[in-house]
Amino acid sequence: MGCSIQTPIVFFLWLAMATTTLALGQGTRVGFYSKSCPRAESIIQSTVKAHFQSNPTVAPGLLRMHFHDCFVRGCDASILIDGPSTEKAAGPNRLLRGYEVIDDAKNQLEAACPGVVSCADILALAARDSVVLTNGPRWAVPTGRRDGRVSLASDTNNLPAFNDSMDVQKRKFADQGLTTQDLVTLVGGHTIGTSACQFFSYRLYNFNSTGAADPSIDPAFLPQLQALCPQNGDGTKRVGLDNGSANKFDASFFTNLRNGRGMLESDQKLWTDDSTKYFVQRFLGIRGLLGLSFNVEFGKSMVKMSNIKVKTGSKGEIRKVCSAIN
């Protein structure tokens, strides 16, 4: 009995040290605000929870927003800046949600600790807290990022797209210093959230001008999708990305890929490409043998992603308002 209690404690202590080690050399560290703003993380956590309780869609929204922020100029909150030609206005970001959560947290933090906590750190912490609220893992988030002063819609070409080939997806992740395993793990974040029909309905009817549906779709699942997204129907209608479990963070997303039930073409390709299929299979395997723990690996990949091209020290700024540079 003593061993069964101590083992997970030792393991999670190791995981905390491992994620902290990943942050070393990046200028970020766990507990960055422990003296300058001791309540920073608890303020963000309670703010995210309050918004989540009234609108659960903010959870996948904040996770996606953090991802989109980090892939363009690094994790510097440039996604939050208002303007007609900023990242926020670009096509891939027009359906992002959760900005009001970040603004609310920032207002409270400015009242408690003026000019101390960056918008980039608020977003990184809010993404983690969102995952926790959907029954997902908690990981230690290194903080100390500063906010960027540049935000250009033209830079969003770096973002992975719903119809990217597997080679293009791998290249976009590799350009950010992320591995194929990171790719599969982070795309697994689609276990929560929805997609608009317009981003996958082309797979249901005349895929690649064949007059038929995408053959990688489970034939038994196809009528359900066609009922949800009729041909020439409302392209803005939203459908859960993880069939049967869209509001819970779990590994069922990978089960759906194995069964031909991935919504997005780019998601389903994780099963048809040998190098990515290997990791999907490991997330579906028996943990400790051939398997990987999705929860553990997700936290590690999120820490790695959250340190992409971070601005620390004298670089960047601490915005007073997240939607505008100082």
Mean pLDDT of 160-170: 95
Query: Could you tell me what percent of the chain has a pLDDT over 90?
Result: 87
- Predicted confidence at residue 287, as pLDDT, reads 60
Across 160-164, 250-254, 286-290, least confident range: 286-290
Are 53 and 131 in the same domain?
Answer: yes
Answer yes or no: is pLDDT of 22 > 60: no
Residue 310 lies in a domain: no
25 band by pLDDT with thresholds 50, 70 and 90: very low
Considering only CA atoms, which of 151, 127, 147 is closest in space to residue 139?
A: 127
Per-residue pLDDT of 102-126, as tens digits, reads 999 999 999 999 999 999 999 999 9
Q: Which CATH number covers residue 274? A: 1.10.420.10
Domain that holds residue 139: 26-159
pLDDT value at 297 more than 70? yes
Do the domain assignments include residue 150? Answer: yes
Contact 123, 65 (CB under 8 A): yes
Whole-number pLDDT of residue 9: 42
Same domain, 153 and 250: no
> Which residue among 159, 180, 212 closes a domain?
159
Asked about 68 being catalytic, the answer comes back as yes
pLDDT band at 289 (very low <50, low <70, confident <90, very high): low
Q: Looking at the structure, tell me whether residues 181 and 229 fall in a common domain.
A: yes
Q: Is the pLDDT of residue 207 over 60?
A: yes
Question: Of 159, 178, 205, which closes a domain?
Answer: 159
Q: Are residues 149 and 174 in the same domain?
A: no
Q: Are 101 and 57 in contact (CB under 8 A)?
A: no
Same-domain status, 176 and 292: yes
| Whether residue 7 has pLDDT greater than 80 | no
Residue 154 belongs to a domain:
yes
Residue 70, domain member (yes or no): yes
196 and 150 belong to one structural domain: no
- Is 160 a known ligand-binding residue? yes
242 is in an annotated binding site: yes
Q: Which of residues 159, 176, 195 is at a domain's end?
A: 159
Residue 11 lies in a domain: no
For position 246, what pLDDT does the model report? 84
170 and 287 share a domain? yes
Identify the active-site residue in 68, 73, 172, 300: 68
The 3-state DSSP class for residue 247 equals: coil
Q: Give a yes or no: residue 203 inside a domain.
A: yes
Residues 218-255 have pLDDT tens digits of 999 999 999 999 999 999 999 999 998 889 999 999 99
> Within this chain, do residues 284 and 186 fall inside the same structural domain, yes or no?
yes
Q: Are both 178 and 290 inside the same structural domain? A: yes
Domain count, the chain: 2
Q: Is residue 19 part of a domain?
A: no
pLDDT at 19 over 80: no
Task: With cut-offs at 50, 70 and 90, classify the pLDDT of residue 4.
Answer: very low
Number of Cβ within 10 Å of residue 178's Cβ equals: 20
pLDDT at 12 over 90: no
Do both 125 and 181 map to the same domain? no
Other C-beta atoms lying within 10 Å of the C-beta of residue 247: 16
Rounded Cα–Cα distance for residues 185 and 174 (Å): 14
Domain shared by 204 and 113, yes or no: no
Q: Is residue 252 domain-shared with residue 228, that is, in the same domain?
A: yes
Within a domain: 34: yes
The residues pairing with 240 across neighbouring beta strands, listed in sequence order, are: 194
69 known ligand binder = yes
Rounded to the nearest integer, the mean pLDDT of the chain is: 92
Give the pLDDT confidence of 70-92 residue by residue, as tens digits: 999 999 999 999 999 999 999 99
pLDDT of 286 reads: 65
Is 142 annotated to bind a ligand? Reply is no
Quick check: 26 pLDDT over 70?
no
Q: State how far the alpha carbon of 90 is from the alpha carbons of 84, 102, 152, 159, 318, in Å.
A: 9, 19, 8, 11, 24
CATH number, domain at 85? 1.10.520.10
- Please give the pLDDT value at position 288: 54
Q: Is 190 annotated as a binding residue?
A: yes
